[in-house]
Amino acid sequence: MQMQTLAHIAERLDGGETSSRALTEDALARIEDPDGEGPAAFVRVFRDSALAAADASDGLRAQGIVPSPMAGIPFSIKDLCDVAGLTTNAGSVVMRNTPPAMRDAPVVARLRAAGAVIMGTTNMTEFAVGGLGLNPHYGNCRNPYDRDTGRVPGGSSSGAAVSVSDGMAAAGLGTDTAGSVRIPAAFCGLAGFKPTVGRVPTDGIFPLSTTLDSVGPLAPSIACCAVVDAIFAGEDPAPRPPVPLAGLRFGVPDTLVTDDLEPEVAAAFEKSLSALSAAGVRIEDASVPGLADLASVGRLRFPSQVEGYAIHRERLEHAYDAMDPRIAERLMGGTQMSGADYYDVLRFREDLIERSAKVTRNYDAIVMPTLPVIAPPISQFEGSDEALRDPFIIVIRNASIANLLQRCALTIPCHEAGSAPVGFMLMGEAMRDHRLMGIGQSVEALISPNLR
């Protein structure tokens, strides 16, 4: 099963050109290929239950019962989702002796009810703390671009992205606290969507930050993401129409987001802006208050730092040496924040949300490069103590803005086919998720190599 949109797969299923069993067997063959990325992309593979679900889906379809556009289609879920009867690893060996989950996470239960065939749980950065997607416990899956070099897939939803790019699933579930859906999607040439916090339940998802965590899809297209997002949110997954581009107004922040771009990113972003302008979109510089303060994000820190430490403090005390040293060190950063510091961070965020809204509400979307860089080689982060500290904070710089501003956001690939993947990010207003995805579909049709 090569990467195809959900709509195309559903058409093939409806027309009898394929079956859920055939799709699932093909996905399993890719996962189990010893020369492929499956062994590193998946932590668990649900071979027997996936085949049983596929056969059940084919039987229902033969009776005219198709519960959703995802029915019978292979899907992957991130390793921090509760699955009834299994221990939730969250990308860590530390969790192996914890009790199994009593029930599926709501988003997993909704996928099952929609008829999706769940292939297994995908690899991730340990405890979702990091943007590169490296994991010393379960291995490093490689970005689909430049496999010979071996580039990072992006994180923390690393296996989710590779499972889709390599045809091991048609779409995947990721989580996004500071860009962990959009970063791997952008690095791997996929579409990714981060909903407004609160639209999609996070119950049964191992937390990193109760303030910032969200659950979103990675898929070949924004239309695919819209279907999956609707299922996650318990909404009608019927396709939604794209929003025409002519007359829309996009703002490009004049601070921070276009600093230090690698040449491939700068060229792809400018070309995309030119194409949008030619299509009738008004592209304007936007002075978004507070973004300059984010340049010192390492000093200001995120709510996730103290919240992550609070969640993991007992593990850090008793199992520090069993954890990825770069993750343990990062989580320990939460000890450097006092209660007053944490209060200041939350007040800073509230002020940033309020001030920025006065500017951004005048635009149909705020746009920027999803990532300032293309995927670096994995070898860059191996070997020395300095490399193991994983100082590549630039990968979360732009993506984390939407999390801090409590917005919805999406990424669309905008590079030339065959070249290094580059993401184009659109950020919408809080709870305007449906409109943003409608705009995203139209932008994607213009700039994405996946749809040209």
230 — pLDDT class (breaks 50, 70, 90):
very high
Q: Assess if residue 400 is contained within a domain.
A: yes
Strand, helix or coil at 252? strand
Q: What is the pLDDT of residue 263?
A: 98
Strands 117-122 and 282-286: unpaired
Question: Across all residues in the chain, what is the average pLDDT?
Answer: 94
Residue 395 lies in a domain: yes
Confidence of residue 3 (pLDDT cuts 50, 70, 90): confident
- Domain presence at residue 269: yes
Written as one letter, the residue type at 290 is: G
Whole-number pLDDT of residue 420? 98
Can you give the pLDDT at residue 301? 62
Q: Is 41 a member of any domain?
A: yes
Q: Within a 10 A sphere around the Cβ of 52, how many other Cβ atoms?
A: 13
Distance, CA of 243 to CA of 285 (rounded, Å) = 22
The answer as to whether 27 is a domain residue is yes
pLDDT at 324 over 50: yes
Tell me what the mean pLDDT of segment 422-428 comes to.
98
282 strand-pairing partners: 249
The Cα 381–Cα 402 span in angstroms is 27
Asked if 180 contacts 174 with a C-beta cutoff of 8 angstroms, the reply is: yes
Task: Say how far apart CA 28 and CA 315 lie, in whole Å.
Answer: 35
Residue 67: pLDDT over 70: yes
- Domain count along the chain: 1
Distance in angstroms (rounded) separating the CA atoms of residues 189 and 365:
21
Inform me whether the pLDDT recorded for 295 exceeds 70.
no
Q: Which is the catalytic residue, given 20, 57, 78, 163?
A: 78
Range of the domain at 90: 1-300+351-452
Phi and psi at 175, nearest 5°, equal: -125, 155
Residue 273 lies in a domain: yes
Q: Residue 284 phi/psi, 5° resolution?
A: -135, 150
The answer on pLDDT for 400 being more than 60 is yes
Six-digit token string for 369: 């490069």
* 34 SS3 class: coil
For residue 316, tell me if it sits in a domain: no
The amino acid that residue 23 corresponds to is L
DSSP SS3 for 174: strand
pLDDT at 148: 97
Rg (CA), the chain: 20
- As a whole number, mean pLDDT of residues 144-171 equals 98
DSSP label at 345? H
- In whole angstroms, give the CA distance from residue 364 to residue 436: 8
What SS3 class is residue 451? coil
Distances (CA, A) of 443 to 52, 58, 62, 362: 38, 35, 37, 19
Look up the CATH number of the domain holding residue 158.
3.90.1300.10
φ, ψ (nearest 5 deg) of residue 64: 85, 15
Residue with tokens 């989702």: 81
Q: Which of 180, 272, 400, 442 is catalytic?
A: 180
Give the model's pLDDT for residue 252. 98
Q: Is residue 141, in this structure, part of any structural domain at all? A: yes
**In the chain, what percentage of residues exceed pLDDT 70?**
96
pLDDT band with cut points at 50, 70 and 90 for residue 392: confident
Mean of pLDDT values over 278-307? 81
Active site residue: 156, 158, 221, 304, which one? 156
What is the pLDDT, as a whole number, of residue 385?
A: 67
State the Cα–Cα distance between residues 236 and 104, nearest whole angstrom: 21
First to last CA, the chain: 20
Q: Catalytic site residue 78?
A: yes
Amino acid 389: pLDDT:
66
Cβ–Cβ < 8 Å for 127, 316: no
Cα–Cα distance between 413 and 449 in angstroms, integer?
7
